[in-house]
């Protein structure tokens, strides 16, 4: 399984947009950036973290770096937007921060009239007009957020941005201290703020992202178990395996066997 690297796929450190046909299977993979896949035409299935979603015209999927996904389609045309959550110090608004978030959007009526032109315009300008591309992406993500009714006026932007930052960087050696510094706060202030706003401390939230991704890799890829801990951001395999068993009651190998044995 491949983890697509943003330095290769997003050379300008912000956004890359392609338009292509898919014929056959795109094997399970992940990436260290966010991605929108909008299907202009076609059919098939899109499997995300083990859940199969039908592909049909005007279907859209919003993926985070924590997702593992694959595509099976005989003939689909898709616009793929690969982007980072932050550009020039500004974060985007995402619907995927909601607990009820689904990565699949099936656009109908007014949504199908508004979003496709924005995506096609983004495809045409992203290489030459970064400021305009940023504005278009803001509009697209705000519209998707409205589709799922997930916008929360009371949510603290800093915490939302922190979660996006964690999702994009959990494979690396991020810490409470380095994340607080990224946002310009002291470690103590940032720790208290995150706990008050989310009800969970920073390390526990980060571990949750990492363990969830490790479970996806175990269940839906053929990566060697000995490699999965590093793919999920854990430095030491023995410590990862011990904590995984404490958390889920199974070793990583046992968990893979159990999920693969399901009918």
Considering the domain architecture, whether residues 128 and 171 belong to the same structural domain is answered as no
Query: In terms of Cα–Cα distance, which of 15, 8, 42, 7 is closest to 26?
Result: 42
Considering the domain architecture, whether residues 19 and 137 belong to the same structural domain is answered as yes
Considering the domain architecture, whether residues 32 and 126 belong to the same structural domain is answered as yes
pLDDT score of 140: 92
Considering the domain architecture, whether residues 33 and 131 belong to the same structural domain is answered as yes
Q: What angle do CA 231, 223, 215 make, to 5 degrees?
A: 65
User: What domain range is 230 assigned to?
Assistant: 155-263
Considering the domain architecture, whether residues 180 and 244 belong to the same structural domain is answered as yes
Task: Give the span between the Cα atoms of 89 and 86, in whole angstroms.
Answer: 6
Final residue of a structural domain among 112, 147, 182: 147
Considering the domain architecture, whether residues 211 and 177 belong to the same structural domain is answered as yes
CATH code of 230's domain:
1.10.10.60
Considering the domain architecture, whether residues 130 and 160 belong to the same structural domain is answered as no
pLDDT score of 66: 92
Query: In terms of Cα–Cα distance, which of 82, 70, 73, 69 is closest to 123?
Result: 82
SS (H, E, C) 54-86: EECCCEEEEECCCCCEEEEEEEEEEEEEEECCE
pLDDT score of 151: 45
Final residue of a structural domain among 86, 114, 147: 147
Considering the domain architecture, whether residues 71 and 7 belong to the same structural domain is answered as yes
Burial class (CB in 10 A: 0-12, 13-18, 19+), 111: middle
pLDDT score of 197: 85
Final residue of a structural domain among 88, 114, 147: 147
Pairs from 173-181 (Cβ < 8 Å, separation ≥ 24): 173/235, 174/206, 176/202, 176/203
Distance of CA 87 to the CA centre of its chain: 16
Considering the domain architecture, whether residues 16 and 140 belong to the same structural domain is answered as yes
CB of 67 within 8 A of CB of 49? yes
pLDDT score of 95: 77
pLDDT score of 96: 72
pLDDT score of 149: 55
CATH code of 114's domain:
2.60.120.10
Query: In terms of Cα–Cα distance, which of 129, 105, 3 is closest to 56?
Result: 105
Rounded to a whole number, what is the largest CA-CA distance in the chain? Answer: 53
Considering the domain architecture, whether residues 165 and 136 belong to the same structural domain is answered as no
Considering the domain architecture, whether residues 35 and 133 belong to the same structural domain is answered as yes
Tokens standing for 75? 């003939």
> Cα–Cα distances in Å, from 84 out to 15, 60, 116?
7, 18, 21
pLDDT score of 100: 65
In order along its 263 residues, the chain shows pLDDT tens digits of 678 888 899 989 999 999 999 999 999 999 999 999 999 999 999 999 999 999 999 999 999 999 999 999 989 999 999 999 998 888 888 877 666 678 998 887 556 688 889 999 999 999 999 999 999 999 999 888 877 654 444 446 788 899 999 999 999 999 999 999 999 999 999 999 999 888 899 999 999 999 999 999 999 888 898 899 999 999 999 999 999 999 999 999 999 999 887 55
pLDDT score of 110: 53
Tokens standing for 103? 């990565």
Considering the domain architecture, whether residues 8 and 129 belong to the same structural domain is answered as yes
How many domains would you assign to the chain?
2
């Amino acid at each position: 399984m491949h983890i697509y690297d943003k330095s290769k796929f997003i050379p300008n450190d912000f956004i890359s947009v392609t338009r292509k046909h898919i014929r056959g299977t795109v094997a399970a993979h992940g990436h260290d950036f966010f991605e929108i896949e909008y299907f202009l035409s076609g059919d098939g299935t899109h499997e995300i973290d083990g859940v199969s979603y039908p592909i049909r015209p005007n279907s859209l999927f919003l993926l985070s770096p924590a997702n593992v996904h694959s595509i099976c389609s005989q003939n689909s045309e898709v616009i793929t937007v690969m982007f980072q959550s932050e550009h020039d110090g500004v974060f985007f608004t995402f619907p995927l921060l909601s607990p009820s978030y689904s990565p699949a959007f099936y656009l109908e009526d007014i949504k199908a009239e508004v979003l496709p032109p924005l995506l096609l315009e983004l495809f045409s300008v992203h290489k030459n007009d970064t400021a305009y591309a940023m504005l278009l992406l803001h509009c697209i993500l705000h519209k998707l957020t409205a589709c799922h009714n997930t916008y929360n006026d009371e949510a603290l932007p800093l915490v939302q941005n922190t979660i996006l930052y964690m999702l994009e960087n959990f494979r690396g050696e991020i810490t409470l201290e380095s994340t607080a510094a990224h946002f310009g706060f002291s470690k103590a202030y940032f720790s208290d703020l995150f706990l008050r706003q989310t009800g969970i401390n920073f390390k526990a939230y980060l571990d949750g992202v990492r363990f969830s991704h490790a479970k996806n890799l175990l269940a839906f890829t053929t990566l060697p178990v000995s490699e999965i801990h590093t793919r999920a951001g854990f430095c030491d395999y023995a410590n990862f395996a011990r904590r995984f068993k404490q958390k889920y009651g199974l070793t990583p190998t046992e968990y893979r066997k159990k999920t693969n044995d399901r009918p």
